[in-house]
Amino acid sequence: MRVLEEIKRQTLEQLGGLPGSLYLPIEEALKAESLKGDGRNHQYEDQAALWVLRQQQASHVMAFRQQVALGFDAFRAPGSAVGGLGGTPLQLVGDQQLAFDLDGERLTEALDHRYLRPLEMIQGRLKMLSQAMGAPIGINPLGPYRLVRAFTAVYNDATVTESLRLRLFRQYEQELARLLGDLYGRVNNLLATAGYGVGFGAPAPGAPVRAADDRARERNTLDEVFDTVPHREPHAPLPDYSAAMGGYSDSHGGSAGYGNYGAQAPVSQADVAAMASELAELRSQLHAWREGLVKTGGLPPAHMPQRSMAPRRELRVDEVVGMVSLLQPEPPDAFARALAVSGRLGETIRDQLYDGARRLGFNPDQTCFSAEEDDAIDLVALLFDSLFRNHALQDRARRVYARLVMPYVKVALTDNEVFVKREHPARRLLDAITEACEGNDGETQQDRDLLERASSISQRIVSDYNEDLAVFELAHAELDALLAQHRRRIELQEQRAAKATYGRERLNAARNQADHAVRERVGDSELTPAVAEFLATPWRHHVVQVLLRENEDPKRRAQALALGDALVMADRLAAENRGRELADQLLALQPVIVQCLASSGLDDNAAQQAMAELVRALATPDHARRQHPQPSAAEVEEDVAEERKLYLSAGMEQVAHDPLLAQRMRELEPGDWLRLTNTQGETLAVKVAWVSPLTSRLLLVNRRGVRALVASAEELAVLAASGRLVVGAERTAFDEAMRQVRRHLDRVI
Cα separation, 409 vs 411, whole angstroms: 5
Dihedral sign of CA atoms 611, 612, 617, 619 in order = positive
Q: Are 121 and 201 in contact (CB under 8 A)?
A: yes
Q: What is the model's pLDDT at position 282?
A: 82
DSSP state letter for 393? B
- The pTM (predicted TM-score) of the whole model is 0.54
Instruction: Say whether 247 sits in a helix, a strand or coil.
Output: coil
CB atoms within 10 A of CB 253: 6
Domain boundaries, the chain: 2-193, 269-496, 524-618, 636-748
Amino acid at 715: E
| Weakly modelled stretches of the chain, pLDDT under 70 | 35-43, 79-94, 197-271, 293-311, 392, 524, 550-552, 621-641, 649-655, 728-730
Segment 493-528, tens digit of pLDDT: 888 988 988 888 888 888 888 888 888 887 767 777
Sequence-distant (6+) residues with CB within 8 A of 333 are 402
DSSP code of 218?
P
Is residue 518 within 8 Å of 540, Cβ to Cβ? yes
Q: Do residues 568 and 525 make contact, with C-beta atoms less than 8 angstroms apart?
A: yes
Could you tell me if 715 and 725 are in contact, meaning their C-beta atoms sit under 8 angstroms apart?
no
Three-class DSSP category at 306 = helix
CA separation for the pair 415, 507 (Å, rounded) = 57
Please report the pLDDT score of residue 257 as a whole number.
Answer: 34
The per-residue DSSP string of 330-380 comes to S--HHHHHHHTSTT-HHHHHHHHHHHHHHHTT--TTTEE--HHHHHHHHHH
Residues in the chain, overall count: 749
- Give the integer Cα–Cα distance in Å for 712 and 709: 10
Nearest to 96 by CA among 48, 165, 145: 165
Number of H-type helices and E-type strands within the chain: 28, 7
Of 383, 391, 388, nearest to 407 (Cα)? 383
The pLDDT value given to residue 264:
36
Q: Which residues contact 417 (CB under 8 A, 6 or more apart)?
A: 275, 279, 424
Cα–Cα distance list, 173 to 26, 52, 58, 121, 170 (Å): 13, 22, 20, 22, 5
CB 539 within 8 A of CB 545: no
Count other Cβ atoms within 10 Å, centred on residue 681: 7
Any bridge partners for residue 495, and if so which?
Answer: none
683-691 and 313-314: which strand pairing? unpaired
- Residues 287, 280 contacting (CB under 8 angstroms): no
DSSP state of 535: I
Is residue 115 within 8 Å of residue 144, measured between CB atoms?
yes
